[in-house]
Amino acid sequence: MKKIIIFLTIIIFVCSCSKPESEQVLKISTTSWIGYSPLYYAKEKGWLDDANIKLVNAVSLSENMYLYQAGHSDAFCGTQYEYSVLKKQQPNLIPLMLFDRSNGGDLIMSNRSIDELKSGNKPINAYLEMDSINFILLNDFIKTHHIDEQRIHYINRDQVEISVLTNASPNEQVIIVTYIPFDISLRKNGFKEISSTKYGLDLLVIDGLYAPKTTFVKHEKQFKKLKEFSDKAITALQNHPHEFYKIVKPYIGSLNYQEFNDNLGDIVWINKKLTKLLKARIRQASLPIKDIL
């Protein structure tokens, strides 16, 4: 009888020390994109710690995708392009949250005008993150303006490397595919915006959170809390923008408050009810919305 009591005591102790699956750490990989700043705000407020959610920061869209592929995160933030690539490898991958759509936040920059790029015959050095939606943006730009693709020399770089490029060779024709806030340093270095998701590129670029269906089932309560935290953070941004900025500043590079506000004008939050028109465009982009929180 004594042995049975001791055995039961051990079982109760072990069970009390182990967390249920829904309370295990949920790791989410993300980048410094301003559309994900509500997640940084939630982290700094301690909300993510309370829900046992951890952010894993990446320097580029492609690295973010690789972190997820390597198993360093359970879910990842990205555009519908990264989702479509990984969906082929993981058929049960689903979109769980939508943050924003780009409205000028993704752009094409150059040291030449569009007419100069079209009429020239020299090679064009195109800097971009190849394994990201940057590639789709560049192809759309090339086709729209009838630029010979054979002239394009694709140069794969992450946005940190791209942001330090300088217009030091006037004879070199350069196209840069980038996104906010990396465009700020490029403008200072002599490059100009020639097209964007606001003007010239008729592309829908959606930023969301993606995970396998099995991961959602395992961490459902945490994902739902994350959605609440994100919405709460966006409300805080809208009501107290300067306070929000001070809290997320360590995660958004060297942006000053004015630059931060200007960048916010290049995205549209879509965390609430979607319009019929936007739903239709999202479906056209092959992004299912039935599981969206």
> 7-11, 43-47, 235-239, 246-250 — which is least confidently predicted?
7-11
226-262 pLDDT per residue, tens: 999 999 999 999 999 999 999 999 888 778 899 899 8
196-228 pLDDT per residue, tens: 988 888 788 899 999 999 999 999 999 999 999
Asked if 247 contacts 46 with a C-beta cutoff of 8 angstroms, the reply is no
Instruction: Say which amino acid occupies 206.
Output: I
Does residue 20 carry a pLDDT above 80?
no
Does residue 127 carry a pLDDT above 50?
yes
Please state, in angstroms and rounded to a whole number, the distance separating the CA atoms of residues 261 and 285: 29
Does residue 4 carry a pLDDT above 80?
no
Please list, in sequence order, all residues whose beta carbon lies within 8 angstroms of the beta carbon of residue 113, skipping any fewer than 6 positions away. Answer: 194
| Long-range contacts formed by 171-174: CB under 8 A, 24+ apart | 172/111, 172/125, 173/110, 173/111, 173/112, 173/116, 173/117, 173/120, 173/122, 173/123, 173/124, 173/125, 174/110, 174/111, 174/112, 174/124, 174/125, 174/126, 174/127
- At 240 the three-state DSSP class reads coil
Does residue 16 carry a pLDDT above 80?
no
Both structure tokens of 16:
């009390």
Rounded to two decimals, what is the model's pTM? Answer: 0.81
Does residue 2 carry a pLDDT above 60?
no
Kindly report the average pLDDT of the chain as a whole number.
87
52-74 pLDDT per residue, tens: 999 998 888 888 888 998 999 99
Of residues 24 and 201, more confidence is placed in 24
Predicted confidence band at 23 (pLDDT cuts at 50, 70, 90)?
Answer: low
Please state, in angstroms and rounded to a whole number, the distance separating the CA atoms of residues 103 and 25: 34
- What angle do helix axes 257-264 and 241-248 make, rounded to 10 degrees? 110
